[in-house]
């Protein structure tokens, strides 16, 4: 029942999948937590395709079905289509769950699932000549997102396909407390399979990440969990020791802690976020990593913060964005985001980066980053910004004006641009 309730929170109430699963995982036995995550992520990741199959096999319009009953059928269909669970067990479990929620629906659930099981190959076939529409159904991605990506990327189909791959599990070595080789040695003694990242110098890739937050190395603050593309952001800003640094949109604090780590806890990082309820999480991250020279603030980054004016050597604007680069981790994004959302975020991003200019000292450095794709939230923001400020110059990264990492089996999608106020 936990999977049904979690899907209701994500699909019907607009909650974030990672936050919902963290909540519901605590409500099931530890041995069942991975299966819960697999079911919930699997349904969200494949929702449009599952509904396509269901609608072809049902006389009832899906939007008229009880929402919990619909999620019961989606879960069962996901298992029948993508997992190796025994078919009779899947159908019986779905019928039993339906009885608990709406007894009269048990016949519908039983009938539609048995029909699908008998005709799976025929029902699974996606018909039509429009390749983008077929891509939208097969990989359960809103068609408007596909068309948006198609404007900018010749390999947009590969990008869309990557949204349904399992993300790699990456950790950031806390070099304030240990070094990469020492941590690798300790993890390998615990039989973890560890690989070095070729993207970020502080990143390690864990191939079998079982209970990573429960081991002593995590509790001692020797590492934190963070994607390698995200880790690279702070490495590019690369503040010197004894500097003043502002992370303007800091939650959950991964980049803030990394910036202070890079400075060996010498200097000061101000971690600001508009969400007051997220400050405790940021504080916890600093303290677990044994980093002390930080200050937490709770201001709206779209408005001028007078006490920040001309105060900082480095400013990071890791802007709120549509998150198209992290769909593997938050698959609900590909169902919910629209071009209107992107344009609304574009306005917010423009306002935030404009405010950040005021906080930089002359000679100070600014990094603008997002975990999304396309020009509207990325290079267009930067170009508009520097067109308003002749004293801001782009600093090249690997001989390019900006770094764009496209999502694939190893990486989240990220955009990073470094600038200096002259």
Residues belonging to the binding site for S-adenosyl-L-methionine are 249-255, 273, 300, 318
Distance CA 107, CA 215 (A): 47
CB atoms < 10 A from the CB of 326, how many?
A: 23
Q: How far is CA 190 from CA 136, 179, 222, 338, 342, in A?
A: 42, 17, 15, 44, 44
Non-local (6+) Cβ contacts of 221 within 8 A are: 174, 177, 288, 289, 290
Distance CA 48, CA 255 (A): 34
Non-local (6+) Cβ contacts of 109 within 8 A are: 69, 72, 73, 76, 94, 95, 98
Is it true that the peptide bond before 276 is cis, omega within 30 degrees of 0? no
Residue in 137, 143, 125, 200 with CA at minimum distance from that of residue 168? 200
Options 203, 321, 371, 417, the catalytic residue: 371
Task: Clarify whether 417 is annotated catalytic.
Answer: no
Residues belonging to the binding site are 249-255, 273, 300, 318
CB of 329 closer than 8 Å to CB of 225? no
Non-local (6+) Cβ contacts of 211 within 8 A are: none
Distance CA 384, CA 399 (A): 21
| Structure-block tokens of residue 131 | 């390749």
Annotated active-site positions, please? 371
């Amino acid at each position: 029942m936990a999977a049904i309730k979690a899907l209701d929170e994500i699909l019907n109430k607009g909650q974030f999948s990672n936050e919902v699963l963290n909540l519901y995982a605590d409500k099931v036995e530890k041995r069942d937590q991975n299966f819960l995550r697999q079911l919930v992520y699997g349904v969200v990741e494949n929702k449009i395709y599952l509904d396509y199959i269901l609608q072809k096999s049902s006389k009832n319009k899906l939007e008229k079905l009880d929402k919990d009953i619909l999620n019961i059928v989606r879960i069962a269909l996901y298992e029948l289509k993508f997992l190796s669970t025994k078919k009779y067990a899947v159908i019986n479990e779905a019928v039993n769950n339906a009885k608990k929620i709406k007894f009269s629906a048990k016949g519908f659930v039983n009938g539609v699932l048995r029909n699908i099981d008998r005709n799976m190959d025929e029902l699974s076939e996606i018909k039509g000549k429009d390749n983008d529409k077929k891509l939208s159904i097969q990989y359960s991605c809103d068609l408007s997102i596909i068309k948006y990506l198609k404007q900018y990327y010749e390999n947009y189909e590969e990008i869309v396909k990557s949204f349904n791959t399992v993300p790699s599990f990456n950790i950031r070595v806390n070099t304030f407390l240990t070094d990469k080789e020492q941590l690798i040695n300790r993890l390998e003694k615990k039989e973890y399979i560890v690989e070095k990242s070729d993207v970020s110098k502080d990143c390690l890739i864990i191939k079998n990440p079982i209970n990573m937050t429960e081991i002593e190395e995590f509790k001692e603050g020797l590492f934190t969990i963070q994607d390698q593309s995200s880790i690279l952001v702070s490495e590019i800003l690369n503040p010197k020791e004894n500097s003043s640094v502002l992370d303007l949109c800091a939650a959950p604090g991964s980049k803030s802690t990394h910036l202070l780590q890079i400075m060996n806890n010498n200097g000061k990082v101000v971690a600001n976020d508009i969400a007051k309820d997220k400050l405790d999480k940021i504080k916890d991250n600093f303290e677990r990593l044994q980093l002390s020279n930080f200050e937490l603030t709770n201001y709206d980054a779209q408005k001028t913060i007078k006490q920040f004016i001309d105060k900082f050597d480095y400013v990071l604007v890791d802007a709120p964005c549509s998150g198209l680069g992290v769909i593997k981790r938050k698959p609900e994004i590909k169902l919910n985001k629209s071009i209107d959302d992107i344009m609304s975020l574009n306005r917010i991003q423009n306002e935030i980066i404009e405010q950040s200019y005021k906080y930089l000292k002359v000679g100070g450095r600014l990094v603008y980053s997002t975990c999304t794709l396309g020009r509207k939230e990325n290079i267009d923001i930067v170009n508009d910004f520097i067109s308003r400020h002749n004293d801001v110059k782009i600093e090249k990264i690997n001989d390019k004006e900006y770094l764009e990492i496209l999502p694939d089996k190893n990486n989240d999608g990220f955009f990073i641009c470094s600038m200096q106020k002259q």
